[in-house]
């Protein structure tokens, strides 16, 4: 395990951006204790249906707002009231804005300091995302729309919870430009490959064969990161599909990850058979991603890459990634240093003719 400082990424320990923190259907009026970005949170759904994320510790005496099963506040069903949460120790109640709105035994004005931080949350595609910014600014790019989620011809994904990895997210980001792992790990053949970096988006376009996800058909992927933690990949193979891989820092050098896949069905609405085939295809996609996951679980940190010309633009991808670990006022200088399309010597890019055989 290595830290942000050891990778030399920037001034901030954790990156700025939108990050997944949970699956919508698992978040209820029973609060969850979760940890991301080196801090503890209380995560719950209010009775209005609103998802709320608050810093975990009550300012009164430091009680964890979510981590309790025995308090009578919890046992009497008073833990979540409306969209507010009660501290299980002394019953202080905090609204979704983080401000205390009731102290049962206090007759005066609620102190202004009686508050916890409330975080900006969005639900999209069956997932819950938080905006994280060490500078406490508003989002500087939009959360992806996941338009296929609302298209009746697509089979919606189920979320694969992959747990935590004992590695820094830098190791996952490296994959966006790593052409040379495709054959050894995934059994892929590569007909074309290229990367493009444009502001907060990093792209990979590649085509060829894939031993898991295509059987006698061509295979291509259009893959992109929107910010540092949300990857999508439009894939053609046995099916037209959209893969999502999300990863979020838990602590410095520890990462949590999720995987999901939507499949375009031949029928609209999808039949039971279409749904079964989509679930099977998602399982195959997960098995392919698990090949990367196993490596990340056991590798040493690549603080530097012994880069060969044929490897891919690791230096460009890492420079792109640094924008999220530095003040947003500095983001443009990292974006400008990598902007454009980057190709590997001897490998065609998209819409380029194949190389002549020697």
Q: How far apart are CA 303 and CA 172, in angstroms?
A: 13
Question: pLDDT of 302-333, one tens digit each?
Answer: 999 999 999 999 999 999 999 999 999 999 99
Handedness of CA 78, 80, 86, 88 (dihedral sign): positive
Q: CA–CA distance from 54 to each of 44, 73, 100, 205 (Å)?
A: 9, 18, 12, 39
Per-residue pLDDT at 188 exceeds 50? yes
Please give the domain boundaries of the chain with CATH numbers for all domains.
Answer: 18-132 (2.102.10.10), 147-342 (3.90.380.10)
Q: CA–CA distance from 113 to each of 77, 95, 101, 104, 274 (Å)?
A: 27, 14, 12, 17, 55
- Read off the pTM: 0.95
Helix (H) or strand (E) holding 186: helix 182-186
pLDDT, residue 354, reads 53
Of 223, 232, 249, residue with least CA distance to 16: 249
Per-residue pLDDT at 131 exceeds 50? yes
Termini Cα distance of the chain: 44
Question: pLDDT of 238-251, one tens digit each?
Answer: 899 999 999 999 99
Checking phi first, is residue 149 left (phi over 0); if not, alpha (psi -120 to 50) or beta? alpha
pLDDT, residue 351, reads 80
């Amino acid at each position: 395990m290595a830290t942000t400082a050891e990778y030399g990424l920037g001034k901030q320990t954790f990156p700025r951006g939108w990050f997944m923190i949970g699956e919508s259907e698992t978040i209820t009026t029973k609060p969850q204790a979760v940890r991301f970005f080196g801090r503890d949170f209380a995560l719950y759904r209010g009775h209005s249906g609103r998802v709320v994320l608050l810093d975990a510790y009550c300012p009164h005496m430091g009680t964890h707002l979510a981590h309790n099963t025995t308090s009578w506040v919890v046992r009497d069903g008073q833990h979540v009231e409306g969209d507010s949460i009660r501290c299980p120790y002394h019953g202080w109640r905090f609204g979704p804005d983080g401000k205390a709105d009731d102290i049962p035994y206090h007759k005066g004005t609620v102190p202004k300091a009686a508050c916890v931080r409330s975080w900006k949350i969005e639900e999209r595609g069956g997932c819950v995302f938080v905006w994280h910014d060490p500078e406490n600014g508003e989002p500087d790019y939009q959360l992806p729309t996941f338009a296929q989620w609302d298209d009746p011809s697509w089979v919606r994904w189920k979320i694969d919870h992959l747990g935590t990895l004992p590695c820094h997210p830098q190791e996952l980001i490296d994959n966006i430009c790593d052409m040379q792992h495709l054959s050894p790990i995934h059994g892929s053949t590569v007909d074309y490959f290229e990367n493009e970096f444009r502001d907060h988006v990093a792209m990979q376009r590649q085509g060829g064969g894939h031993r898991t996800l295509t059987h006698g058909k061509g295979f291509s992927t259009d893959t992109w990161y929107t910010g540092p933690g949300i990857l999508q990949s439009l894939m053609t193979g046995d099916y037209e599909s959209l893969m999502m891989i999300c990863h979020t820092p838990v602590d410095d050098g520890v990462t949590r990850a999720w995987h999901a896949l939507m499949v375009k069905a031949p029928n609209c609405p999808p039949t039971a058979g279409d749904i079964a085939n989509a679930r099977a295809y998602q399982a195959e996609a997960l098995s392919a991603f698990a090949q990367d996951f196993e490596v990340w679980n056991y590798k040493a940190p690549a603080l530097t890459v012994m880069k060969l010309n044929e490897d891919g633009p690791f230096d460009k991808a890492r420079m792109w990634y640094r924008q999220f670990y530095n003040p947003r006022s500095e983001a443009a200088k990292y974006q400008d240093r990598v902007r454009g399309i980057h190709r590997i010597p001897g490998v065609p890019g998209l819409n380029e003719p194949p190389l002549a055989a020697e």
